[in-house]
Chain A
Amino acid sequence: MPRVLPRLVTLAGLLALVACAERTDGSSACPSLCTDPTLAVRDTVFDAVTLDTAFGGFPLPGALQQTVDPYLPLVRRGDTADVRLVFRFDSLPQSVSTTDTTPVTRVRSAALLVTVDSTAIGARPADGVTIDLFDVDTVTAADSIPATMAPLFRPDRRIGGGVITAAQTRDLVVDTLRIDDAVVLDRIRRGARLRIGVQARGSAPVAIRLLDVGSGAAGFVPRLRYDASPNDTVRERLLFTRSLTPTASAGSYRSQVLVVRGTAPLGGGALEVGGLPAWRSYLAFAIPRRFFDSVTVVRATLDLVQRPRRDVAAARDTVGVRPRLVTAGREITDVRQQVALLNAVLEGARFPVVPLVPADSGLRNFDVGPLLNAWATRADTLAPQALVLFSEGEGVLEAPFAFWSREAPQASLRPRLRVTYAPRRPTILP
């Protein structure tokens, strides 16, 4: 054994000498020993738009809106923009609590709790935003139409309110907007519904967003809070919005956006984006699979010619517009529904925003390279090759944009897809 040991030590030493991690980076010898050719990049323009159209009426009613973007806009800007909200509490429990079936005889500390989305763009006066709450319940059947609902926001129907300070609007803060206790008690006793209209005002233009991410996330939805128990140990009641009408789609109207005053679309078949209520434009493409199979897209731009909107509010405001990927499946054939069902999570990468001014005109390039790469890797049967032009100020800013569609009188004005690509090499030989 003693004679074997030195040999084993020698062998182990030799193995240690040669046992190193692989290191193959020879970059320092480049470019002399690395004659790599420049990538062969080519450029082409496609007239590949097969369908383009525009849809207005965004944001959608509450429940639908939650599936798209979880916010509710509240805007008051002079005589150009007025966006209000209605929260429906159509079913108020008449017992003190879930465990105490004693009828409610008093209500204390009634309030509407809302969460301000501080990440949203908008306008916030330095001295805060005053929120007025109104009783907007009505017996008319047309209880979701702005023309019917707006007159109900009047002083004799005011049931409460509060001030959201400037500091609060810069954070994700739950704000408590007090409601007259007697109003809530009255509705409970009568078994009536409570529909609360929300209107903002301030010393300067106001544009904020309230979070409404769905009934499953208690902290981020509008809710009614009150204390109905004489016993201080019983917790206050918290009610989520609930609508019982219209019967067919009651859930969609739990919270409701009322655009009382906004911007009118340009019309005439233009591709419209933004405004109040907001528009979105839909463009569908037909790029053959064999193109994707033979190239790697380096850059792609959707080239649109902007039409000026000089006669509208916010004509000189700068607002971002960006393309968004249509993720609705092939089974959704209703184009408007495809436009409505944008989903930031499914879309993945966020496309570059192009800042635009409504009064300007000319050629605009929207980078859509990742969009083409998404189409290249996605089976054609999953979703259409389509995108939606979307305003970053949707629901909050009234700046409207318009572009020439494929119906434009001159070919040079029509939408085009410009693709810069590298031909795919079937193999790489030394």
Chain B
Amino acid sequence: MSRRLRLLAGAALALPATLLAQGSVSSQGFGYPTGQLTTRALGTGGAMAEFDPAAPINPAATGNWGVMGAYAQYAPERRTTTVGGSRASTFLPRFPVFSFGIPIGERLAFGVSASTLLERNFVTQVTGLQPVRDDTVSVVTTNEVRGNMSDLRFSAAYTVRPWLKVGAAYHVIGGENRIRVQRVFNRRGTTVVDSTLSTVNENSDLGFDGGAWSVGLDVRPLPNLFVAASVRQGLSLESRVGSFVPSRADVPDRMGLAVRYDGLGGTRLAARWERTSWSQLQSLGSGGSRAFDTQEFGGGVELNGPSIQRIPTDLRIGYRQRTLPFGVNGVQPEERGLGGGVALPFARGRFIAEVAVERLSRTVPGLANVSESGWTTAVSFRLRP
């Protein structure tokens, strides 16, 4: 008997462990990439992300804090997923970006930021059939996943010349996915629990442990023209359950390039391109969900609005489109976003409240009956005492 039990235990450990029950287009695989965009960037189609010191993207932008500052953002998404005629509406609270910057002298600046790299929160309940012994019973499977993969970044920027800033950063990639799967067996064709069958509960607290380096520059080649670029080089990334390491991969590499033109009075035009090698995460999962590299293009306008205490407000509008990293049935989804926002200065500009709203639509090529739309409403506060 003991030999049989050893074999059973071995078989249990060798089983593929997959879970693909997300119930939405955007949070397949390890979750939805929030983009690490600040409210300013969100309102301009992501175009200002490389320049914004609060955004944890380009370490050279840390030099743009100017004075000591802090930033906090709340950006929930209302999401509606439509499959055929059926719709699932969800509301996902997010706190995607927190950052802090402090200049040291005229040229040096340091920053710390915490942001959401991938957000994964969902609950689904599916009723199906399950063979048990010589019978088939009804099983109600509830999947609940909470958590995210986060990016804690320590950055430094140096102003080499008044027209050139360079920066470097180290990223600590962490976070956790708390996964709860419950299977309740009902008598077939009823909602009455079958008392002869025990409920199967599976809990897994999956942690992430990894790192990355990034470098960037922010250069002004012409009086009103700014160019920013950054590159992130991913290091090793492990998933962990306690001391057990079920999988390893690399943190996705990323590169981005943006241009901004300030030469139209109080109007700023910007555009940005970004590529992220999410496919490097493929080996972190079970293989049940394919990971793709993504590209993002965005453009936006920021212009001066009415002044408050002689400090102009900012009005923003932008558009972006990108591909998403985790496939639906092996097909890479696409996302488009049209957004706008406003920045309201208070206390003579020491405290800036920003609001942005972005309308998102997601599709999966080849799956005409599947679509998803969302409204992201971001509210943030930028403090510069």
Tell me the A residues contacting B by CB distance below 8 Å.
7, 10-11, 14-15, 17-18, 20-44, 46-48, 288, 290-291, 293-299, 352, 367, 369-370, 373, 420-430
Given A26-B90, A28-B81, A428-B204, A36–B131 Cβ distance below 8 Å? no
Q: In angstroms, how far is the closest chain A Cβ from the Cβ of B249?
A: 11
Sorted from nearest, which 6 A-B pairs have the closest CB atoms?
A26-B23, A423-B12, A28-B88, A294-B9, A429-B286, A34-B21
Q: Is B22's beta carbon under 8 Å from chain A?
A: yes
Given A18-B74, A427-B241, A429-B285, A295–B12 Cβ distance below 8 Å? yes
Cβ-defined contact, B196 with A33, below 8 A: no
Chain A residues near B123 (CB-CB < 8 A)? 24-27
Number of interface residues of B (CB under 8 A): 89
Chain A residues near B383 (CB-CB < 8 A)? none
Given A291-B5, A352-B195, A426–B128 Cβ distance below 8 Å? no
Chain A residues near B90 (CB-CB < 8 A)? 23-26
Contact of A36 among B74, B141, B379 (CB under 8 A): B141
Residues B134-175 near A (CB distance < 8 A): 139, 141, 143
CA distance A15 to B200 in the complex (A): 41
Given A297-B198, A423-B12, A29–B17 Cβ distance below 8 Å? no
Q: Is B104's beta carbon under 8 Å from chain A?
A: no
The listed residue with most B CB atoms (<10 A of its CB), out of A7, A34, A37, A422, is A34
Contact code string B298-309 (vs A, CB < 8 Å = 1, else 0): 000000000010
Q: In angstroms, how far is the closest chain A Cβ from the Cβ of B202?
A: 6
Contact of B21 among A21, A28, A36 (CB under 8 A): A36
Since A25-B23, A38-B128, A427-B239 are in contact, a sample of 8 more A-B pairs with Cβ atoms closer than 8 Å, ordered by chain A residue number, is A20-B91, A27-B125, A29-B88, A288-B2, A290-B9, A291-B5, A295-B12, A426-B246
CA distance A373 to B82 in the complex (A): 40
Cβ-defined contact, B289 with A430, below 8 A: yes
What would be 17 A-B contacts, judged by CB atoms less than 8 Å apart?
Answer: A10-B344, A23-B91, A24-B121, A26-B24, A29-B23, A29-B83, A33-B24, A39-B141, A288-B5, A299-B196, A425-B15, A425-B17, A426-B17, A427-B239, A427-B241, A429-B288, A430-B29
Q: Is B353's beta carbon under 8 Å from chain A?
A: yes
Cβ-defined contact, B124 with A34, below 8 A: yes
Q: Is B377's beta carbon under 8 Å from chain A?
A: yes
Cβ-defined contact, B92 with A24, below 8 A: yes
**Looking across the interface, which residue of chain B has its beta carbon closest to that of A294?**
B9
Cβ-defined contact, B201 with A296, below 8 A: yes
Given A14-B379, A29-B23, A428-B17, A298–B244 Cβ distance below 8 Å? no
Contact of B20 among A22, A34, A47, A367 (CB under 8 A): A34
Chain A residues near B108 (CB-CB < 8 A)? none
CA distance A170 to B30 in the complex (A): 62
**Looking across the interface, which residue of chain A has its beta carbon closest to that of B19?**
A428
Chain B residues near A288 (CB-CB < 8 A)? 2, 5
Q: In angstroms, how far is the closest chain A Cβ from the Cβ of B8?
A: 7
CA distance A337 to B183 in the complex (A): 38
Cβ-defined contact, B285 with A31, below 8 A: no
Chain B residues near A429 (CB-CB < 8 A)? 17-19, 206, 239, 246-247, 284-286, 288
Cβ-defined contact, A33 with B133, below 8 A: no
Chain B residues near A28 (CB-CB < 8 A)? 23, 81, 83, 86-88
**Looking across the interface, which residue of chain A has its beta carbon closest to that of B206?**
A427
Cβ-defined contact, A33 with B22, below 8 A: yes
**Looking across the interface, which residue of chain A has its beta carbon closest to that of B76?**
A18
Chain B residues near A20 (CB-CB < 8 A)? 76, 78, 91, 93
Cβ-defined contact, B93 with A22, below 8 A: yes
Q: In angstroms, how far is the closest chain B Cβ from the Cβ of A347?
A: 15
Cβ-defined contact, A427 with B346, below 8 A: no
Contact of A48 among B1, B197, B200, B329 (CB under 8 A): B1
Cβ-defined contact, A369 with B88, below 8 A: no
Q: In angstroms, how far is the closest chain A Cβ from the Cβ of B160?
A: 39
Chain A residues near B370 (CB-CB < 8 A)? 32-33
CA distance A48 to B1 in the complex (A): 8
Chain A residues near B241 (CB-CB < 8 A)? 426-427
CA distance A25 to B22 in the complex (A): 9
CA distance A42 to B4 in the complex (A): 13
Cβ-defined contact, A420 with B132, below 8 A: yes
Cβ-defined contact, A24 with B122, below 8 A: yes
Contact of B8 among A39, A47, A423 (CB under 8 A): A423
Chain B residues near A31 (CB-CB < 8 A)? 126, 128
Given A30-B126, A352-B196, A17–B89 Cβ distance below 8 Å? no
CA distance A29 to B124 in the complex (A): 9
Q: Is B130's beta carbon under 8 Å from chain A?
A: yes
Given A39-B183, A299-B196, A15–B23 Cβ distance below 8 Å? no
Cβ-defined contact, A294 with B183, below 8 A: no
Residues B193-242 near A (CB distance < 8 A): 195-198, 200-202, 204, 206, 239, 241
Q: Is B189's beta carbon under 8 Å from chain A?
A: no
Contact of A44 among B4, B126, B244 (CB under 8 A): B4
CA distance A31 to B181 in the complex (A): 16
Cβ-defined contact, B23 with A43, below 8 A: no
CA distance A17 to B124 in the complex (A): 26
Cβ-defined contact, B21 with A30, below 8 A: yes
Cβ-defined contact, B126 with A37, below 8 A: no
Q: In angstroms, how far is the closest chain B Cβ from the Cβ of A385?
A: 13
CA distance A34 to B22 in the complex (A): 6
Contact of A294 among B8, B21, B128, B329 (CB under 8 A): B8
Given A33-B24, A38-B130, A423-B11, A430–B196 Cβ distance below 8 Å? no
CA distance A296 to B92 in the complex (A): 33
Given A24-B90, A29-B23, A36-B143, A426–B206 Cβ distance below 8 Å? no
Q: Is B192's beta carbon under 8 Å from chain A?
A: no
Cβ-defined contact, B88 with A37, below 8 A: no
Chain B residues near A21 (CB-CB < 8 A)? 91
Contact of A295 among B8, B130, B247 (CB under 8 A): B8
CA distance A296 to B328 in the complex (A): 30
Q: Is B13's beta carbon under 8 Å from chain A?
A: yes
Cβ-defined contact, B344 with A298, below 8 A: no
Q: Is B185's beta carbon under 8 Å from chain A?
A: yes
Cβ-defined contact, A27 with B204, below 8 A: no
Contact of B130 among A15, A18, A41, A427 (CB under 8 A): A41
The listed residue with most A CB atoms (<10 A of its CB), out of B23, B123, B285, B370, is B23
The listed residue with most A CB atoms (<10 A of its CB), out of B25, B28, B82, B195, is B195
**Looking across the interface, which residue of chain B has its beta carbon closest to that of A45?**
B4
Contact of B132 among A11, A48, A298 (CB under 8 A): A298
Chain A residues near B8 (CB-CB < 8 A)? 42, 44, 291, 294-295, 421, 423
Chain B residues near A18 (CB-CB < 8 A)? 74, 76, 377, 379
Cβ-defined contact, B353 with A29, below 8 A: no
Chain A residues near B81 (CB-CB < 8 A)? 26, 28-29, 33
Given A17-B377, A18-B74, A32-B84, A41–B132 Cβ distance below 8 Å? yes
